[in-house]
Amino acid sequence: EDQVTQSPEALRLQEGESSSLNCSYTVSGLRGLFWYRQDPGKGPEFLFTLYSAGEEKEKERLKATLTKKESFLHITAPKPEDSATYLCAVQAHSNYQLIWGAGTKLIIKP
């Protein structure tokens, strides 16, 4: 069964304190792994797509990496506005749907 597990459930950091969020997955033929940001009461906001192991993508203070079993979202010198829930989702070759993790709630304290 295709499955996505994210850790930790919640992460509190001081402003400027770098860290990483983990997304472990099992999927029968990975088409793509997606990272989204979700603010309370809002829809998921697209951040990155990763398609193959070894791939990396960067956007401002965020960098996403992918291996054959997991993905990391590295956040460097975060600011309070980076506070949100970060969601990981996978898409299998045989499907159109995204299969989602439960998310990591990131809180950046000033």
Partner 1 sequence: EPEVTQTPSHQVTQMGQEVILRCVPISNHLYFYWYRQILGQKVEFLVSFYNNEISEKSEIFDDQFSVERPDGSNFTLKIRSTKLEDSAMYFCASSGPSSYNEQFFGPGTRLTVL
Task: CB nearer to partner 1: give 9 or 15.
Answer: 9
Cα–Cα dist 33/43, whole Å: 18
Cα–Cα dist 39/57, whole Å: 22
86 binds partner 1 (CB under 8 A): no
Helix/strand/coil (H, E, C) string of 6-57? EECCEEEEECCCCEEEEEEEECCCEEEEEEEEECCCCCCEEEEEECCCCCEE
- Among 34, 64, 70, 71, which residue interacts with partner 1 (rule: CB under 8 A)? 34
Task: CB nearer to partner 1: give 87 or 106.
Answer: 87
Q: How far is the CB of 75 from partner 1 (least distance, A)?
A: 20
Q: How far is the CB of 48 from partner 1 (least distance, A)?
A: 8
Site of interaction with partner 1 (CB under 8 A): 31-32, 34, 36, 41-46, 49, 87, 89, 95-103
